[in-house]
Amino acid sequence: MRKALVLGPQKAGFAWLLALALLLIPWAALGRGGAAGQGLAAVRLAALPPEARTAYTLIFAGGPFPHEKDGTVFGNRERLLPLHRRGYYREYTVTTPGAPDRGTRRIVCGGKPRVPDVCYYTSDHYTSFRIIVE
């Protein structure tokens, strides 16, 4: 006859916590692409559409921006960009000719608004990003 393994309340609590951590670690890495923002492809500024180059110039000039949402905080909820405190990233519209709304193209910059540390381009409304290099 086998004896059942019985843990005390403290050990049982620790075992549950350990099991939960082991289950969540792979999901956390998946949501961040391993280390968030690592391995993002680069795109040269000169290779971007002319509207993106115009938006990029306006970002460093401090505006004026054509859309009310330009310069607002980008939350990075999908965790595709490197992780930073809330408010680090700001989003800017890249005008899409013929689109009846803001379209799907954006530039997201991190750091101070007029002197960002880094900027990313997305042509698919935050599904993927490429780091902008000059």
Sheet holding 116-122, edge to edge: 41-44, 130-133, 116-122, 106-111, 89-93, 72-73
To which residue do tokens 């490429």 refer?
Answer: 130
Residue 10 corresponds to which tokens in the numbers above? 């403290």
Backbone angles phi and psi of 43, in degrees to 5: -135, 135
DSSP string, 40-71: -EEEEGGGS-HHHHHHHHHHHHT---SSTTTT
Q: Which of 68, 78, 84, 125 is catalytic?
A: 125
Q: Which of 67, 68, 84, 91 is catalytic?
A: 91
Concerning whether 67 is annotated as a catalytic residue, the answer is no
Active-site positions?
A: 91, 125
